[in-house]
Amino acid sequence: MEIVIVDSSEDGAVIVADAIGRVVSSGVSPTLGLATGGSPLGVYRELIARSRAGTLRLADTTCFLLDEYVGLAQDHPESYRSFIRREFTDHTDIADEAVHGPDATAADLSGAAERYEAAIRGAGGIDLQLLGIGSDGHIGFNEPSSSLGSRTRLKTLTEETRRANARFFDGDADAVPRYALTQGIGTILEARHLVLLASGPAKAEAVAAAIEGPLTASLPASALQLHPHATVVIDGTAASLLERTDYYRATYDAKPEWQEI
Ligand code: F6R
């Protein structure tokens, strides 16, 4: 796992946008896995700026959402489908039909989850998956105790997650849906490159446990330890409880030019 400690989220966004730029320009039909929430917003802003400036072409890119709330209509402003359109894809040349999410409005949610897995497989898998991390260590909506081999399925959100996401629902945790369809940890681990973004002191404990703690279903983000190409991009406050920051900083500073994240 590579740990990149940045001075600001903006610096992190540039590093991650560069990596995405390499993926979309090198593949014939590149695929991106997209997270919602606050953590990836800087990356989306950077990609939009590059797209508008004409320095980044995303037209051939297919996108797969990490998760979707159950119980919100697809056009609800806080559905993850609406979020990603509003914050990212609508401002680029990514076609709306090329943005896929699990169908959390389906009557048969297990069937919808299987169809989503098939769609990801059918697109050749995900080249680069963006991730955030919950303060309880979740990735996607794989809450603590999620199987490390799990696939896309229905999950119940913890009260901690619903409280954290209340900010998108006028501060009302009760308005945050109780369930979501989420890519499983096994699904996420099949992406070719995982990039986890985190900033702020509220993430420090989960970040330290994910990177330096034991591999455990109790801290789903620790599953990144299993992946051959995982990059964690964090600011100093999110890195504040890590023990080996000197080593991570020295390694990144001494990286050979040719070696990308
Ligand atoms: C979002 C998602 C979640 C968030 C996590 C962090 O699609 O799957 O795992 O990445 O809850 O959220 P923020 O970035 O808002 O702190």
177 contact partners, CB below 8 Å, separation of at least 6: 69, 70, 71, 72, 157
In the set 67, 68, 117, 235, the catalytic residue is: 67
Beta bridge partners, 156, equal 179
176 contact partners, CB below 8 Å, separation of at least 6: 69, 157, 161, 162, 165, 166, 168, 169
Alpha helices by DSSP H, listed for 57-184, are: 80-87, 109-122, 159-165
Q: What per-residue confidence (pLDDT) applies to 154?
A: 98
- Closest approach atom of ligand 1 to CA 161: 11
Note the pLDDT tens digit of each residue in 138-174. Answer: 999 999 999 999 999 999 999 999 999 999 999 999 9
Residue nearest to atom 4 of ligand 1 (CA): 132
Q: What is the side-by-side strand order in the sheet with 67-69?
A: 67-69, 179-182, 153-156
Rg (CA), the chain: 17
Q: What per-residue confidence (pLDDT) applies to 254?
A: 96
- Closest approach atom of ligand 1 to CA 36: 7
Q: Is 229 a catalytic residue?
A: no
Phi, psi of 9 (to 5 degrees): -60, -35
Phi, psi of 170 (to 5 degrees): 55, 35
The structure tokens listed for 126 are 């995900």
Q: Is 93 a catalytic residue?
A: no
C-alpha to C-alpha distances, 78 to 32, 43, 84, 106, nearest whole angstrom: 21, 19, 10, 18
227 exposed, middle or buried (CB, 10 Å; 0-12, 13-18, 19+)? Answer: middle
Strands 153-156 and 179-182: antiparallel
- Ligand 1 within 6 A of CB of 66: yes
Task: Return the C-alpha torsion angle 23, 27, 29, 34, nearest 10.
Answer: -10
Q: Is 143 a catalytic residue?
A: yes
CA of residue 162 to ligand 1 center, whole Å: 11
- Ligand 1 within 6 A of CB of 141: yes
- Cα–Cα distance for residue pair 54/41, rounded to 1 Å: 20
- Ligand 1 within 6 A of CB of 139: yes
Residue nearest to atom 12 of ligand 1 (CA): 37
Which domains are present in the chain? 2-253 (3.40.50.1360)
H or E element that contains 15: helix 9-26
pTM of the predicted structure, to 2 decimals: 0.98
Place of tokens 């991730």: 131
Mean pLDDT by 10 residues, the chain (261 residues): 97 98 92 98 98 97 98 95 98 98 98 98 98 98 98 97 96 97 98 98 98 98 98 98 98 94 96
Task: Please choose from 32, 138, 143 the residue to mutate so as to test ligand 1's pocket, defined by most ligand atoms within 8 A of CB.
Answer: 138
- Ligand 1 within 6 A of CB of 134: yes
